[in-house]
Every structure is written in structure tokens, then in C-alpha cells.
Amino acid sequence: MIFLELFWTFFKIGAFTFGGGYAMLPLIQAEVTSKGWISEESIVNFVAVSESTPGPFAVNMATYVGSEMGGVFGVGGGIFGAFCATLGVVLPSFVIILIVAQCFQKFQSSRVIRGCMSGLKPAVIGLIASAVISIGTTVFIPNGFMWEIFTQVRTYIFLGIAALALVLGFKKLHPIIIICISAVLGIAAGYLGFL
């Protein structure tokens, strides 16, 4: 039952995403792309879409994956799939915050929570670093490693785009502008026959 699976998968993702935003990527890779639901390429494409649309990354991602997976059952299936996945990703935070709102003082001074967080925060950083490796693989060597990639123009074009985007990012240019520039460069390189 795909709808139940969507709900449960995103419930787990919602319950284990600490730090918000891209902290979700390693979990998406583990729970969504590894099941073959959606290709890693589509997920990376969607990160760009999510950056360019309002709303939290987690909700955007859940709605997108739900709609894609349910979409095979028609428009209604797409909407219901999106609903199941979004409900799943939202529910853990919702319940936990309701509990915390009741006993905030105790929560704040809890050594157990502080201790767990001191392990979780650096873990998320390590996990995102591993997501970067895997996304780098998708960008540069989508068909597996071959020595030819070092002689292919496209490798250097992608390296150039990534380097430019990184510089612009650290210059505090808005992500949407960076995405637009990357898109234009991609289209130009494509029509010049480099891709």
C-alpha cells in the first residue's frame, strides 16, 4: 500500500531530521532514492525548485515525492499521496512541540536532551558531508567512474558552474539568482554541444 508507505517513510524522516533544511537530504537518500522511488537526479533538481518556491524544504520535498508516487493513480492519487507524505513529515514535530510547550522549563534544563543533541548536531554535519559526496557523484559521474571524465568538456563545465555558484553563494547572492545563473550556463553549454 503505497500511501501508507509514503506516510510512514516521511514520518520517520520528520522524526529524525534535526536542524531542518538540508539536514533532511541524507534521510531522503536513505529512505526515498535507495528504494528506487525517485532518482537522485530528480531529488537534486527538486532541491533547486524548493529553493525557488516558498515554504519549508521538508514540506516541499514531502509534497513532491508524495505527488510523484501517488501520481501513477491519476490526479486524485497524486493529491492523496502528497497529503499522506506531508502529514507524515509534519506529525512528529507537531506532537513533540505540543508536549514541549507544556513543560518548556524542564525540557530546557534536561541533561538527557542536551547530551543527545551534542551527539546529533555533529552527526548531521557528517551525514550532509556524505550527501555532498553522493550528489557530487550524480553531477559529475552519473554513469559511474571512468577515466574519460577527465578528458570530457562537460566535467569541467560542471566544475566551473559549481565553483562559480560557490563563490556567488559566499558573496551572499540569493540562491534563486544562483540557480538562474546555473540554468542559463547549463542551457548555453547544452546548445553549444558540450553536454
Partner 1 sequence: MKFSWKKLWQVFITFFKIGAFTFGGGYAMIPLIQREAVENRKWVTDEDILDIVTIAESTPGPVAINSATFVGYRAAGFLGSVAGTLGVVLPSFIIILLISYVLREFQEIVAVQYAFAGIRAGVLALIIKALWGMYKKCKKNLVSYIVMAAAFVLAAFVKLSVLPLLAGCAVFGLVTTLIMERKVQK
Residues 133-172 that bind partner 1 (CB under 8 A): 133-136, 138-139, 157-159, 161-166, 169-170
185 is an interface residue for partner 1 by CB under 8 A: yes
Task: Identify the residue among 72, 103, 141, 183 touching partner 1 (CB under 8 A).
Answer: 183
Nearer to partner 1 among residue 121 and residue 146 (C-beta)? 121
- Binding segment for partner 1 among 1-9, 17-25, 143-151 (CB under 8 A)? 17-25
Interaction between residue 76 and partner 1 (CB under 8 A): no
* # residues near partner 1 by CB under 8 A: 112
Dist. CA 149–CA 58, nearest whole Å = 34
Stretch that binds partner 1, among 2-10, 71-79, 145-153 (CB under 8 A): 71-79
Cα–Cα distance for residue pair 32/43, rounded to 1 Å: 9
The region that residue 174 occupies, defined by phi over 0 for left and psi between -120 and 50 for alpha, beta otherwise, is beta
- Other Cβ atoms less than 10 A from the Cβ of 178: the count is 20
Choose the binding region for partner 1 from 2-10, 87-95, 143-151 (rule: CB under 8 A). Answer: 87-95
Q: Are the C-beta atoms of 185 and 161 separated by less than 8 Å?
A: yes
38 binds partner 1 (CB under 8 A): no
Per-residue CA distances from 137 to 14, 30, 44 (Å): 26, 16, 12
